[in-house]
Structure 1
C-alpha cells in the first residue's frame, strides 16, 4: 500500500493511493497514520480492503508528512562510501547517529526555509523508513520485520551550523521545514529489498545526486539492529539512512548552496517524488 496524509498543515487526513494513482479517503476507516496504525491491526484491515470502494479525494490537495505524531527522527551520517569521500571523511566503522528535531518534519512539497544567517543550506536525498513495532536489542536477521514502510526523505542541512559551530550535528539539521518526508509511506511488503533502490535529486532541473542504496555502508537491517542496542525504537519513529554523493558541500571546484527562489526535486525509486521551493525564513 501507498499510505499518505493530505490536507492543511496539522489537519491532515489519512489516505491511500489506489492502483490508478487516485487518492482515496481513509478517514472513515482510521483516524490518522501514526505509530498506533501499525500496532492496532489497522494495517491488516486496510490490506484486506478494496480501495476502489472508498471515496475519491477531489482536486489536488496538499500532501502532508506521510506519518504523524513522530516520536523520534533519527538520521545516519556518512553512510555511502562515495559521499564520505566527497566530504573528505574516512568511512565510519559503525553507523554515525544523530537526531533531527521532529519540528523539522515537513510535507514533501511544502516550501523549505533557508534559516536567517544561513550561507550553506544543502540538500540530501535519502531513503527513509518508519518503525512498525517496538524494537529493542534486535538482531540483524530479523530487523526488517520491524519496518512498517519506506519513504523519500530530504535531509536538508545547514553546513556551517552543522560543522563550524560548537556542539552536535543536530543544530545544522533541525531548522523548521528541514525534514520533508513522503509523499507516501510504502508498506514494507511492496519493498522486498530496500538495498536496490535508485535515488536522485535535481536543483532547478540540474541533476546533482544520483545513487543507489546498494552502495550503503550499513544497510537498513544493520541500522535497525545497531540503533536498537542503544535506544528503544517505537512504532512511528522515522529513520533516514544517509545520502549518496552530489551534495552542495562536495561540489568541485567550489561548494554550492541553496538560495531563496530555487526549486529542489528528488525521489527514491518506487517511493515517490518531492518538490520544494526554497524561501527565506
Structure 2
C-alpha cells in the first residue's frame, strides 16, 4: 500500500530525524535518492528520510544487490550529519541499534546484532544497514540505509541458501507492524541513538557490544582478500572486529562477512 504520510505524522512524536519523508512508490535506490536530495539542498536536509516501497537497484555491503519484493520491507535511507569524520563509523552502529530497538518496540520480537551491522531474529538476518560517509563543508554527510524484512515476500526472491539464513517479522510470528508504525519507531530510536554518537559514544559502543551475538565464538571472516578463522574476541571503539588467530596474535578488521563455526 502507498505510504500514508498523515498516519506517519500522527505516530512520529517529534525530533529532527524523520521529520520530513521523501517518498516514492518505486525507485532505483533510496541511497542514491538521499545523495541527490542532499546535493540539491546544498547542506540542508539533515535528518530527512528517503522511503520507497520497491527498489530496482538497491545495494548492500560490497555493492551486492539488495533483493526484496514491493511493499514487503521497510526500505529507507536517512541523510544524517556529524561534525567530524571520526564519528562516521558510529552512525552504522547507531543505525543497527535503532533498527533493533524499533523492531522490538512495534512487534515484541527479540533481536541480536551481527557484526558489522546486521540485525538478527532467531539467529537469522532480519535487517541490514549500510552507512556511507561523504565529507563536505562544515559537517560530514552520512547516508544511512536501512532495510527491514516485514513480510515473508521480502525474502521470497532469495536463493535457497540465502533464504535459509534470512527471516522476516511475519516469519517469526511476531506482531506485524505497518510501514508507518515501523518508520516512526525507527526515526525516534535513531534520534536517541544519534544523540549518543555525539554525547555518549562509550555508552553506544557498550550497548552495541553487549548485543553482538558472536563474541567469544569461533568464526570465519570473509573479506575481499580471502578468508580467515579465529575467535571473535572484541570490537574496537571504531567498530572493527578483533579476531584472535590460532597462533595467538590478534588482528582488527573493518569490513567483511562473518560466519559462526
TM-score, normalised by the number of residues in structure 2: 0.32
Higher relative contact order (CA 8 A, sep 6+): 1
More helix per residue: 1 or 2? 2
TM-score, normalised by the number of residues in structure 1: 0.30
